[in-house]
Chains A and B, each alone.
Chain A
Amino acid sequence: MKKLIVFFWVLFLSSMAFGQSLDYARDQFSLGNEAYMKGDYETALNHYLEAETKTEGLAINYNLGNAYFKLGDIPESILHYERALRFDPSNEDVQYNLSIANDMIADKIEVLPKSKLQIWWTNFRYSLGPDGWAEICIGLALASVLLFLLYYFGGSKALRRFGFFGGLVTFIFLILTYTLAQSAENYRYAEKSAIVFTDKVDVKSEPRGGSVNVFVLHAGTKVEILSQEGEWYEVEIASGAQGWIYQDELRLI
């Protein structure tokens, strides 16, 4: 019993600390917005960076991307727009600004066109985020249990049958929703892609400095990370070309 009390006390304190740091982040965010509105992007950026230590999500990354863009740091702005998209891949403002930033970098990579269904599926999967799907999970769990209870204690045969099949279907949906939540979480936090930060990078055929240069990338280009070998990342660009890049040339999204 004593242990339980200690546990709750710790939980309460930590939630208090969380709340305070979030307030700090919000203050910094507002100060940054004021500076941005006046056109003082340098100050805005500093406030946003301060806020970033205590928060995450679309808004902070989007504004950071804008501030970097205004200061002419295109690779940083692309990195933050990409991070913002992690939280809502269908956000139009982020997509628009990212496309403008992408127009300003050296590399133009042919992107394989996506079908409407693909786009819809991506948007659907990540639209609610892990938490949205998690909440639906709980709802489905409750519904499923209630339906199973109906199966056990239903008065008539029809009611019992409804309870059984309803419960089964709801349970299957619950599993699907859980999978979606997990995939949305992976998309958000699993670091599978990166932005090139060095002005000019020779992409190598092997994770070794002396190996053959396969192609050249420039600052601001997004790469998918396939694997890691020591201090080297195996990357793939949107056109499908693959190679190895030293870790210092990249920053993970």
Chain B
Amino acid sequence: MKKIGRHSWIAFLGLVLFPLFSWGQGATLTATVDKNPVSVNDVFTLKITLTNGKGNIETPDLNDFRVVFGPSRSSSYRIVNGRQSSAITFSYTLRPKQTGTFEIGVAKASVDGKVLTTSPIKVEVVKGASSSSSSASQGSRGATQSSAPKSTNQNLMVRIQLSKSNVYKGEQVVVSFSLLSRYNNIDLGEMDFPTLDGFWTEEFPEQETTWEPTLEVINGMQYRKAILRQLVVFPQRPGTFEIDPLTLSANVNRSFFNPGESITVRSNTPRITVNALPDEAPESFNGAVGNFDFSATVDKTEVKANEAINLKVKVTGSGNLSLIDEPDFQFPEDFEVYDPETDDRISVSTGGVRGSRTFQYLIIPRYPGEYTIPELEFSFFNTNTGKYQAAKAGPFNFSISDDAGNVPAAGAPRAKNIVEQSGLDIRYIITDENLLRAPRSQFFGTPLFWAGSAGPFALLIIFLIYHQRKEALDKDVRGRRKRGASKMARKRLKAAEGALKSGDSQLFYQEIFKALYGYLGDKLGIPIGELSRQKILAELQRNELKEATVNDVMYVIDTCETARFAPVTETSDEVFYNRTAELIENLEGRLK
């Protein structure tokens, strides 16, 4: 059992066929076999051909046969009377598993939205030797030419040329498929280009196949030369590879009289040696092989938060540009960076692939502040020197200002960092030992507290009691004088009476005066030093006594004053004595 076939045709399902020019006629899909019936020991070829169209070809189920080789894809185009036509063919070399009749199912292709199908082919497998080839193609509308291939033909050759045969992995190699002919008239038929497994290919821009203006001389013979196809390949793994030959069918020397000769030629099979890249690749190396320049630019360095910044990273040069991945840069955390847009400007020519690949990053700083994008590094393997080489750009400094209430540029809500308590723990101890205090050293309730709070009141009360006592004492002195006033007066009156009896008139009046004066002083509370006629008069008037009584008092005092210097004649001493006694008695009732 061979599993190759199965693998390969699955790989073909997604194949996109390359576009050609304007088409003369509509697209057709045909399936043919080169032998039918076929011997069980023989091999036969199934060809599925799509003409004048492009699209995915879905191959039929081939489980009844062993796939010996294939599918091999070939494409061809012809120019007939200025009309171009093309054909894409998948070829399978099949070997029957057993005798019998087997059906090859329907192949499908979708072209421009329409689905083309082939008719199924019944293959009869017979025992014995191979039957003569009789082309029996059911349901095929396209003509197929079958001929015994001639491997060598001095007049017609096809060649595969490599620009280099010893390269590094990833280094570009130009592959040219050329035709050398000595025929004057040639109609190109099928061209079976080799598949280039293990190589990444970049096709040259499509162009008409024309004879080159100069002739090429090989072994002394002149040939016309035409480039059939050119491409640039990049080996993807190390090793030695032999490239499969190019097979070309052509009809030569056809003229009005001559149906022509159909010949098939095979090309050489060049070998290519692919070397692995040296080991000491720098960290930033990501597969770029060739010779490049590297540059990075930013459009702004001072923006408001949430405004976009464009960072352009450009790789220019010659090499495997399409295989360069986006460089891995470190951006600040607070920058929102979108996946870069890749823009390729690549031209493929005999000089190889050259051009540029640009990565454009959209960066949105979310928070104000000073930020830096560190130095960007790009490294590649330089095929000219055989060494790794690094190129650097930057660093870039940004000054982001507050967005001042701008609506976020990208429409994204501004995510706020919530300060979250991630760990739960108790707070720290108190470290000030001066906060310590003696146990039960409370001030409240101590004698000192009581002295301080109740003491003032105690002092107040003591003070007030003392003050009252003193006042009461003062009042008492006056009261005693008052109470003893009449007693005193009576004593003095008695002394006056004694003086009267002894006939001492001067002494008598003196005693009368003393009795009344002392009495009034005691009674009215006037200190002895302050006693005078005016003071007594004022005090008596203040006590609201009758005027007659006041006049009486004044009369007695005046008479006594006069009696000191001259004898009293107008009244007898006895009468005066009685009058004074009466007056004191009278005053005693009035003055309280």
Binding partners A and B: yes
By the criterion CB–CB under 8 Å, are B434 and A134 in contact? no
Q: Is the CB of B435 within 8 A of A59?
A: yes
The docked-state distance in angstroms from the alpha carbon of A240 to that of B493 is 96
B472, CB-defined interface residue at 8 Å: no
User: Does the CB pair B443–A134 fall under 8 Å?
Assistant: yes
Contact with A along B423-447 (1 / 0, CB 8 A): 0111111111111111111111100
Number of A-B residue pairs at CB separation under 8 A: 108
Q: How distant is the Cα of A160 from the Cα of B538 in the complex, in angstroms?
A: 32
Q: Which of B433, B454, B460 is A148 in contact with, Cβ under 8 Å?
A: B460
CA of A25 to CA of B434 in the docked complex: distance in angstroms? 10
Contact check, A22 vs B443: say whether CB atoms are below 8 A apart.
no
Q: How far is the CB of A61 from chain B (nearest CB, A)?
A: 10
B575 at interface by CB-CB < 8 Å: no
User: Given A21-B438, A25-B436, A152-B464 in contact, is the A97-B456 Cβ separation under 8 Å?
Assistant: no
Complex formed: what's the CA distance from A67 to B436 in Å?
17
Please, how many angstroms separate the alpha-carbon atoms of A21 and B437 in the complex?
Answer: 10
Residue from A57, A100, A138 whose CB has the most chain B CB atoms within 10 Å = A138
Docked-complex contact B460 and A138, CB < 8 angstroms: no
Determine if A141 and B439 form an interchain contact, defined as CB atoms under 8 angstroms apart. no
The smallest beta-carbon distance between A22 and chain B, in angstroms, is 5
Task: Assess the A149–B426 pair: CB atoms within 8 A.
Answer: no
Interface: B528 (CB within 8 A) = no
Mark B94-108 against chain A: 1 for CB-CB distance below 8 A, else 0.
000000000000000
Say which residue of A27, A56, A137 sits within 8 Å of B439 (CB atoms): A56
Q: Does B452 contact A (CB under 8 A)?
A: yes
Instruction: For chain A, residues 22 to 36, give those with C-beta under 8 angstroms from any C-beta of chain B.
Output: 22, 25-27, 29-30, 33, 36
| Complex: chain B residue closest to A61, CB-CB | B430
Distance, CA A18 to CA B439, complexed state (A): 9
Q: Which of B427, B430, B456 contacts A142 (CB 8 A)?
A: B456
Q: Which residues of B contact A69 (CB under 8 A)?
A: 426
Tell whether B449 is near chain A: CB-to-CB under 8 Å. yes
When the two chains form their complex, are residues A60 and B456 in contact, meaning their CB atoms are under 8 A apart? no
List chain B residues, Cβ under 8 A from A138: 449, 452-453
Q: Closest CB-CB distance, B562 to chain A, in whole Å?
A: 48
B18 within 8 A of A: no
Note all chain A residues with C-beta closer than 8 A to B441: 18
Question: Measured between C-beta atoms, what is the minimum distance from B126 to chain A in Å?
Answer: 91
Interface residues on B, range: 20 to 34
- Considering the complex, give the chain B residue whose CB is closest to the CB of A171: B457
In angstroms, Cα B448 to Cα A135, docked, is 11
B residues in contact with A145, CB < 8 Å: 456-457, 459-460
Contact yes or no, A29 B433, CB < 8 A: yes
Interface residue? A96 (CB, 8 A)? yes
Query: What string of 1s and 0s marks CB contacts (under 8 Å) between B449-491 and chain A?
Result: 1001111110110001001000000000000000000000000
Nearest CB on B from A135, distance (A)? 7
In the assembled complex, the Cα of A242 lies from the Cα of B283 at a distance in Å of 73
B429 touches A131 (CB 8 A): no
Question: Quick one: closest B residue to A66, CB to CB?
Answer: B429
| Chain B interface, >50% SS class | loop
Q: From B428, B434, B435, B444, give the contact of A58 (CB < 8 A).
A: B435
Q: Which residues in chain B, 476-527, are within 8 Å of chain A measured between CB atoms? A: none
Closest to A55 in B: B436
Chain B residues whose CB sits within 8 angstroms of the CB of A231 once the complex forms: none
Given contacts A97-B426, A145-B460, contact A55 B438 (CB under 8 A): yes
Tell me whether A59 and B454 are in contact (CB under 8 A): no
Residue on B with the closest CB to A153?
Answer: B467
Which residues in B have their C-beta under 8 angstroms from that of A33? 429, 431, 433
State in angstroms the CA–CA spacing of A149 and B452 once bound together: 17
The answer on a CB contact under 8 Å between B424 and A60 is no
Q: Name the contact of B426 in the complex, choosing from A51, A57, A66 (C-beta under 8 A).
A: A66
A181 interface hit (Cβ, 8 Å)? yes
Q: How far is the CA of A58 from the CA of B430 in the complex (A)?
A: 9
Interface SS, A side: helix
Q: How far is the CA of A18 from the CA of B426 in the complex (A)?
A: 33
- Knowing A130-B444, A133-B444 are in contact, say whether A141-B437 is a contact too (CB < 8 A): no
**Smallest CB–CB gap between A188 and chain B, Å?**
8
Q: Which B residues lie within 8 Å of A60 (CB)?
A: 436
Residues of B within 8 A of A144 (CB): 456-457
- Which chain B positions have C-beta within 8 A of A67? 429
A19 to chain B, nearest CB (A): 8
CB neighbours (8 Å) of A59 from chain B are 430, 432-433, 435-436
Q: Which of A30, A57, A133, A182 contacts B437 (CB 8 A)?
A: A57
Q: Which residue of A lies closest to B429 (CB)?
A: A63
| Interface status of A185 (Cβ within 8 A of chain B) | yes
**B435 cross-chain contacts in A, Cβ below 8 A:** 57-59
State whether the Cβ of A174 lies closer than 8 Å to any Cβ in chain B: yes
Q: Which B residues lie within 8 Å of A246 (CB)?
A: none
Beta-carbon contact of A185 and B445 below 8 Å: yes
Bound: A149/B426 CA distance, A: 55
CA distance A117 to B431 in the complex (A): 33
Given contacts A131-B443, A134-B444, contact A22 B449 (CB under 8 A): no
B436 and A141 within 8 A (CB): no
B456 near A26 with CB under 8 A, answer no
Taking CB as reference atom, which chain B residue is nearest A56? Answer: B439
Residues in chain A near residue B436, CB distance under 8 A: 22, 25-26, 29, 51, 55, 57, 59-60
- Of listed B430, B435, B442, B454, residue having the most chain A CB within 10 A: B430
Contact B427 A97 (CB under 8 A): yes
Neighbouring B residues of A181 by C-beta, 8 Å: 444
Min distance, Cβ A226 to any Cβ of chain B, angstroms: 26
- Chain B residues with CB under 8 A of A178: 453
Distance in Å from the Cβ of B237 to the closest Cβ of chain A?
59
CB distance from B441 to the nearest CB of A (A): 7
Contact B437 A149 (CB under 8 A): no
Q: A96-B427, A133-B444, A181-B444 are in contact. Are A30 and B433 (CB under 8 A)?
A: yes
Q: Chain A residues near B454: list those with CB within 8 A.
A: 141
Q: How far is the CB of B360 from chain A (nearest CB, A)?
A: 52
Say whether B438 contacts A22, CB under 8 Å: yes
> Which A residues lie within 8 Å of B427 (CB)?
66, 93, 96-97
In the complex, the chain B residue whose C-beta lies closest to that of A143 is: B456
Most-contacted residue by chain A among B442, B444, B456, B457 (CB, 10 A): B444
Determine whether the beta carbon of A56 is less than 8 Å from that of B440: yes
A166-204 interface (Cβ within 8 A of B): 174, 178, 181-182, 184-185
Chain A minimum-CB-distance residue to B456: A145
Interface residue A54 (Cβ < 8 Å from any Cβ of B): yes
Is A62's CB within 8 Å of the partner chain B?
yes
Could you show 30 A-B contacts with beta carbons less than 8 Å apart?
A: A18-B438, A21-B438, A25-B436, A36-B429, A55-B437, A55-B438, A55-B439, A56-B437, A58-B430, A58-B435, A59-B436, A62-B430, A66-B427, A66-B428, A96-B426, A100-B424, A131-B444, A135-B443, A137-B452, A138-B452, A138-B453, A141-B453, A141-B454, A144-B456, A144-B457, A145-B460, A148-B460, A178-B453, A182-B444, A185-B445
Additional A-B contact list (5), CB under 8 Å, known A57-B437, A134-B445: A66-B428, A70-B426, A93-B430, A131-B443, A145-B456
Which B residues lie at the A interface, using CB under 8 A? 424-445, 449, 452-457, 459-460, 464, 467
4 smallest beta-carbon distances between A and B, as pairs:
A134-B444, A130-B444, A138-B452, A145-B456
